Amino acid sequence: MEGEVYYPSQDSIAKSYVQDWEALAESARKDLQGFWAERADELFWFKKWDKVLDDSQKPFFKWFTGAKVNIAYNCVDVHLQTYRKNKLALIWESEDGKSDRTFSYYSLNREVCRMANIIKAMGVEKGDRVTIYMGRIPEIMFAMLACAKIGAIHSVVFGGFSVDALHERISDSESKLIITCDGSLQNGKLVELKRIVDESLRHCPTVENVIVVKRTGHEVPMEAGRDHWFHDLCALPIANGKCTTEVMDAEDPLFILYTSGSTGKPKAILHTHGGYMVGTYTTLKYVFDINDEDRFWCTADPGWITGHSYLVYGPLLTGATIFMFEGGPAFPYPNRWWQLIERFGVSVFYTAPTAIRALMRFGEAWPNKHDLSSLRLLGSVGEPINPEAWKWFHRVIGKERCPIMDTWWQTETGMFMITPTPVVPLKPGSGTRPFFGQEAEILDEQGNPVADDHEGYLVLKNPWPAMMRTLYKDPDRYVETYWKKYPGKYMTGDSARRDKDGYFWIIGRVDDVIKVSGHRLGTAEIESALITHPAVAESAAIGLPHEVKGQAIYCFVHLKPGFAPTEDLSEELRQHVARHLGPIARPEEVNFIDKLPKTRSGKIMRRVLKARAQGLPEGDLSTLEE
Ligand code: WT7
């Protein structure tokens, strides 16, 4: 193999579910449906499927049609019938370290039933949407599972989003119920989630009730008739007792999750009970080799797909013990995460390159204070990991014993798509090869495969069970965005290259999606937030390389007459975006510009701004207006 290669140890091969990667890949290649049927057989179905894959209405693929199932039942109930009943399902620690809470599978079931009973009592029925907007606390997991249990469709909105983003997602989903908490803690600072909900709920006529979990205990206004404290509801008789699980069709929606696209408003990605369950279960099991002794820590927030698939659903499906931490990596000190790994004996640790880069900067002394010998496997997700960060993670955290699973996937794919398993030789910075049953290709503009080592558009060739089924309420946009450019192939929106060993190297987004610290943001949303400021006539947002964040947001603003381009105004505009869209979207810089580069038809040429800002050649300017 070419380049720098890290071969798996005999030990990690011996422990792996997949001893022979090639053989399993070959079996999936020969019989895709057979491969997935075998995996699905490991889970519980009220009724088995008639068909594994129905591709009669491409690209609207269906999986396990005719089957009856519920993902929540597989996450919780099935374990109660086994020795796992008294096993820890969840260990949670607060940001300040003053409290930790643990839940066995038995008590997880009680929590989920209680929440489900309450949601039902609020008049929520199968198919209704529920928006969940809270910090990283156990109740967010209970709320998601409770919705799934009764067949409601959850729409989790990341707690780092603010009023405009939340409002748009609540009204687009036409949610009946909001589940939130009074506030959350971020680096010791209070974020007033409930107040943000209140502001967002102006002009959201579909919302009938708001359930508020008490987390921070600060004073919050409660609107009589609409807002209810969760602990008050728990004291009511309706909260008690078991809640029956709704028997769902495999293709019934499980959740929608909004994600940013190239243009326009965020897209509501729709996932279903059956296929999503099989996909997340299988990938987690094979890629992280999850078994009963594991304590699995995924640092992602439940508000993103990583949190859905690999903090909540996947680990519970495999019956693992989840560790969930409310806070971030470096508060109050840069050893916070390492301390937690030591204290709770975390064995598999899955995080993002941006966090690794940030922690690297504080030096090795911080992790070296701690015994990290419980770790067995590491993982990375969200953006390309630079080899320097990979090697640091491998050497300083993994002590050169723990392979790193660099998993490439998307909100849309629901599960890992290009990823190693512990038996695959690793190259720092490459996600290696497609998962079993998948084939990827790198194409040029016309749809021809490019030569090895050349950059092109990354596409996926085969359907997979956890694939999104559509964009909620917008099937045309689903076809247009993902299946139109190369008919029959799924367009990822990423550029990549493949090396001579068949390893894939992701380069980045080819569209107007910006990945800030692994968070996916759209230029359109940032620009819409800016335009609501009275000084802004027009604006353009772009992503530029950033040492720690991967990419950072830079905005160019054309002011309305009468406004002066001052430092203060620039700062005010940064705050404005943070307040409206969310602190994660706060621009690195807001610069003023007399004229935005545009095509003759009036489209902003962000690529020209990007090139100018980096002092790079501006490329083809033939479509630029005079
Ligand atoms: C985009 C999807 C699903 C994981 C969380 C992000 C980038 C994701 C990797 C990786 C290089 C990666 C891609 C992709 N990305 N993982 N391991 N290596 N790039 O999900 O928010 O939907 O973003 O994240 O650009 O298209 P998402």
SS (H, E, C) 123-174: CCCCCCEEEEECCCCHHHHHHHHHHHHHCCEEEECCCCCCHHHHHHHHHHHC
CA-based nearest residue to 122, from 179, 203, 204: 179
Q: Which amino acid is at 248?
A: M
- Where the chain has pLDDT below 70, the residues are 626
Q: Say how many Å lie between the first and final Cα of the chain, rounded.
A: 51
Distance CA 381, CA 350 (A): 8
Ligand 1 atom nearest to CA at 493: 26
Tokens read off for 275: 């296929």
Mutation test residue for ligand 1: of 284, 309, 383, the one with most atoms within 8 Å of CB: 383
Q: Which residues line ligand 1 (CB under 6 A)?
A: 259, 304-306, 380-384, 406-411, 431, 492-494, 506, 508-509, 515, 520
- Give the DSSP letter of residue 285: H
Distance CA 406, CA 404 (A): 6
Whether the CA torsion 547, 549, 550, 553 is positive or negative: it is negative
The reply to whether omega before 332 is within 30° of 0 (cis) is yes
Q: Which residue has its alpha carbon closest to ligand 1 atom 1? A: 410
Tokens read off for 289: 């080799």
Distance CA 106, CA 84 (A): 8
Q: Which amino acid is at 275?
A: G
* Residue bearing tokens 């090396």: 499
Share of the chain above pLDDT 70, in %: 100
pLDDT digits (tens, 9 = 90+) for 243-296: 999 999 999 999 999 998 777 789 999 999 999 999 999 999 999 999 899 999
Q: For residue 425, give Cα distances in angstroms to 252, 420, 433.
A: 38, 8, 10
Distance CA 354, CA 80 (A): 38
Q: Which amino acid is at 186?
A: Q
Q: Which residue has its alpha carbon closest to ligand 1 atom 14? A: 410
Under a CB-based contact definition with an 8 Å cutoff, are residues 164 and 531 in contact?
no
* Residue bearing tokens 């909900």: 197
Residues 6+ apart with CB under 8 A from 256: 129, 153, 154, 155, 173, 268, 269, 270, 271, 472
How far, in Å, from the CA of 28 to the mean position of ligand 1? 24
The pLDDT assigned to 203 comes to: 87
Q: For residue 502, give Cα distances in angstroms to 418, 439, 444.
A: 11, 11, 17
Q: For residue 444, give Cα distances in angstroms to 459, 575, 611.
A: 11, 40, 22
Q: Which residue has its alpha carbon closest to ligand 1 atom 23? A: 410
Under a CB-based contact definition with an 8 Å cutoff, are residues 281 and 486 in contact?
no
Under a CB-based contact definition with an 8 Å cutoff, are residues 581 and 531 in contact?
no
3-class state of residue 377 by DSSP? strand
- Give the DSSP letter of residue 544: E
Whether the CA torsion 172, 178, 179, 181 is positive or negative: it is positive
